[in-house]
Amino acid sequence: SEKQTEQLKQLATFLLKPQNQRLNLRIEGHCDDRGTRDYNFAWGRKRAYEVKKVLIKSGLSENRIKTISYGKERPAYLGKDMKSRSKNRRADLILQPIFN
């Protein structure tokens, strides 16, 4: 959505500040419980990649971003209703400090 794209642009701006140069980002793609394991891993990869694309377009270097797909393996919300399923279709973004 437009709101999410704007939030990602703001995140890129934050990460580009000199004081944040030692922070990298891991993007975890997730899906709901429907579909096969392979199908959901593919969708998780695509979801994480789409987020990565916006961040790179916003100026963040690709080498500061790692993506991983967990498919349907790590649901954040239990339940088979549409609300729970929609919340499980997500990309989690985790800041990772560089310690060396």
Predicted pLDDT of residue 55: 98
pLDDT at residue number 100? 76
pLDDT in tens, 11-57: 999 999 999 999 999 999 999 999 999 999 999 999 999 999 999 99
Listed in sequence order, the residues at least 6 apart from 24 whose beta carbon sits closer than 8 Å to its beta carbon are: 64, 65, 66, 95, 96, 97, 98
Per-residue pLDDT, averaged over 61-81, amounts to 95
